């Protein structure tokens, strides 16, 4: 079921429920029409992206916000899987994590992350950063899925 093109579809891959709640709060701002979809780890993210149970009706995300440190399939592994898949690699992936280590930054970019952002600890800064990401991807950039509207690459083989 294709989603209306003007709605920014964001997949949040995050195991910290406090961070999920903060994200949901920022996404309640309706100046940018968006839907935030949440999964708790990389394994669920891949099921969402491949539309496997229980995500058979999942939309193709316009943007993925990916934490690194999660159980089962972590963000590093998920990033590698996404960027190696010809059907998924055009989806922008922002690594959004508590890490600020040089090794995590370099490893993320070497796996073709589109950006690496260390989560701010301050609540106001956290909200500001998420709002900026949302504004940038909701208003400024032309997303790959928007180029092929109305099909949105949802059913590309």
**Quick check: 145 pLDDT over 50?**
yes
Residue 29: which pLDDT band, with cuts at 50, 70 and 90?
confident
pLDDT over threshold 80, residue 31: no
pLDDT of res. 155: 44
Q: Are 11 and 65 in contact (CB under 8 A)?
A: yes
Give the bridge partners for 24, in sequence order.
none
- The Cα-based distances of 133 to 126, 130, 140 in angstroms read 11, 5, 10
Output the pLDDT for position 25: 86
Model pLDDT for residues 48-74, shown as the tens digit of each residue: 999 999 999 999 999 999 999 888 888
| pLDDT tens by residue, 82-141 | 999 999 999 999 999 999 999 999 999 999 999 999 999 998 999 899 989 988 998 888
Average pLDDT score over residue span 148-152: 43
Tokens of 43: 């394994």
Alpha-carbon distance of 105 to 107, in angstroms, equals: 6
Considering the entire predicted model, what is its pTM? 0.87
């Amino acid at each position: 079921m294709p989603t209306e093109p003007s709605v920014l579809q964001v997949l949040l891959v995050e195991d910290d429920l406090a961070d999920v709640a903060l994200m949901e709060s920022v996404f309640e701002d309706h100046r940018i029409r968006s839907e935030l979809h949440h999964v708790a780890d990389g394994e669920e993210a891949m099921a969402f992206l491949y539309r496997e149970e229980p995500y058979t009706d999942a939309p193709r995300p316009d943007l993925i916000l990916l934490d690194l440190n999660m159980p089962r399939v972590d963000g590093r592994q998920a990033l590698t899987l996404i960027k190696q898949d010809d059907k998924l690699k055009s989806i922008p992936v922002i690594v959004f994590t508590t890490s600020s280590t040089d090794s995590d930054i370099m490893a993320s970019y070497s796996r073709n992350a589109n950006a690496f952002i260390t989560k701010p600890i301050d609540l106001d800064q956290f909200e500001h950063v998420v709002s900026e990401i949302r504004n940038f991807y909701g208003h400024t950039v032309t997303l790959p899925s928007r180029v092929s509207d109305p099909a949105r690459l949802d059913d590309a083989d």
